[in-house]
Amino acid sequence: NAGVMQNPRHLVRRRGQEARLRCSPMKGHSHVYWYRQLPEEGLKFMVYLQKENIIDESGMPKERFSAEFPKEGPSILRIQQVVRGDSAAYFCASSPRTGAGSNTDTQYFGPGTRLTVL
Partner 1 sequence: AQSVTQPDIHITVSEGASLELRCNYSYGATPYLFWYVQSPGQGLQLLLKYFSGDTLVQGIKGFEAEFKRSQSSFNLRKPSVHWSDAAEYFCASSGGSYIPTFGRGTSLIVHP
Instruction: Using CB under 8 A, list all residues that contact partner 1.
Output: 4, 6, 33, 40-45, 48, 56, 91, 93, 98, 101-102, 105-112, 114
With respect to partner 1, which residue has the nearer C-beta, 55 or 118?
55
Least distance in Å: CB of 61 to partner 1? 17
- Write the burial class of residue 75 (CB in 10 Å: 0-12 exposed, 13-18 middle, 19+ buried): buried
φ, ψ of residue 108 in degrees (nearest 5): -115, 130
Q: What angle do CA 8, 9, 11 make, to 5 degrees?
A: 65
CB of 64 to partner 1, least distance (A): 22
The minimum distance between CB 81 and partner 1, in angstroms, equals 27
In the bound state with partner 1, the residue whose beta carbon lies nearer, of 17 and 26, is 26
Measured from the CB atom, the residue of 18 and 37 that comes closer to partner 1 is 37
Supply the minimum distance, in Å, between the C-beta of residue 41 and partner 1. 6
How crowded is residue 45: how many other Cβ atoms within 10 Å of its Cβ? 15
The Cα–Cα gap between 69 and 12 comes to: 23
* Of 47 and 82, CB closest to partner 1: 47
Burial class (CB within 10 angstroms; exposed 0-12, middle 13-18, buried 19+) of 100: exposed
